[in-house]
Chains A and B, each alone.
Chain A
Amino acid sequence: AQTVTQSQPEMSVQEAETVTLSCTYDTSESDYYLFWYKQPPSRQMILVIRQEAYKQQNATENRFSVNFQKAAKSFSLKISDSQLGDAAMYFCAYRSAWNNDMRFGAGTRLTVKP
């Protein structure tokens, strides 16, 4: 079974600075999807960014970008120009292209300091 590991339970960043959240995963499959979700205090899960494994180009969504290293099975999230509203739990998730379930990491709690 696939597993997703987030080795940083907590991270903090100064407002306007850049922070990188780490994620590694274990799989024997070659075709899959990776996601970063944000869960603010409201607990609503919000999709931040997605990456298709077959795409070599790293995904970018405004201030959010990923560093996808397929061979290393690494999928880190970089948040640039951090804002107070970025404070949340961030979950890395893996979804196989062959079934419908999704595997989540344990999450990283991000604090943004003013």
Chain B
Amino acid sequence: DGGITQSPKYLFRKEGQNVTLSCEQNLNHDAMYWYRQDPGQGLRLIYYSQIVNDFQKGDIAEGYSVSREKKESFPLTVTSAQKNPTAFYLCASSIPRGTGASSYEQYFGPGTRLTVT
């Protein structure tokens, strides 16, 4: 089955520790994204990557870092510099612009709930 996996589903960390959230896809998509979701708000873009070894900051990149060493993987590190890291994090992938696809919806993973105390 093709899809996106995120692990773990729930993650707990102490304040001041860095933590890495995993995102893996086997859809052969070039583009991958990380979003943060807070109660009462929509999804806010943290980082996105259009191809391997390339990524761009989204609207709320401060306190986060990413890497894209493989097409299938796009891990997100929440650093101690992130002021309010407790949130629900969603990873997504899509066919990038210019491939001739009829539409460009994003496919989402199941999410990771991060709690920092």
Residues of A within 8 A of B (CB): 4, 6, 9, 33, 35, 37, 42-45, 47, 50, 52, 91, 95, 97-102, 104-107
- Asked whether, in the complex, the Cβ of A52 is within 8 Å of the Cβ of B102, the reply is yes
A4 engages B42 (CB within 8 Å): yes
Chain B residues, Cβ within 8 Å of A47: 105, 107
Q: Mark B99-117, 1 if CB is under 8 A from A, else 0.
A: 0001111111011000000
Residue B13 is within 8 A (CB to CB) of chain A in the complex: no
Tell me if A43 and B103 are in contact (CB < 8 A): no
* Chain B residues with a Cβ under 8 A of chain A: 31, 33, 40-45, 48, 50, 58, 88, 90, 92, 94, 96-97, 102-108, 110-111
Q: Could you tell me the distance in whole angstroms from the C-beta of B1 to the nearest C-beta in chain A?
A: 14
Report the Cα distance A81→B116, complex, angstroms.
42
The answer to whether A101 touches B48 (Cβ under 8 A) is yes
The winner among B50, B90, B92, B106 for most chain A CB atoms within 10 A is: B106
Bound complex: CA of A91 vs CA of B90, how far in Å? 14
Q: Are A106 and B42 in contact (CB under 8 A)?
A: yes
Residues of B within 8 A of A102 (CB): 33, 45, 106
Complex-state Cα separation, A106 to B41, whole angstroms: 5
* Residue in A42, A104, A105 whose beta carbon sits within 8 Å of that of B110 in the complex: A42
| Nearest CB of A to B40, in Å | 7
B41, chain A: closest CB distance, angstroms: 6
Measured CB to CB, the nearest residue on chain B to A45 is B108
- Determine if B103 and A100 form an interchain contact, defined as CB atoms under 8 angstroms apart: no
In the complex formed, the residue of A with least CB distance to B50 is: A100
Cα of A35 to Cα of B104 in the assembled complex, Å: 10
Complex contact B40–A100 (CB within 8 A): no
| Complex CA distance for A91 and B44, rounded to whole angstroms | 12
Q: Which residues of B contact A107 (CB under 8 A)?
A: 40-42
Nearest CB in chain A: distance from B13 CB, A: 20
- Cα(A50)–Cα(B92), bound, Å: 17
A21 to chain B, nearest CB (A): 14
Using Cβ atoms and an 8 Å threshold, which residues of chain A touch B45?
A: 101-102
- Please give, as numbers and ranges, the residues of chain A lying within 8 Å of B108 by CB-CB distance: 37, 44-45
CB pair B42 A97 closer than 8 Å: no
| 10 sampled A-B residue pairs with Cβ under 8 A | A6-B42, A44-B110, A45-B92, A52-B103, A95-B106, A99-B97, A100-B48, A100-B50, A101-B45, A102-B45
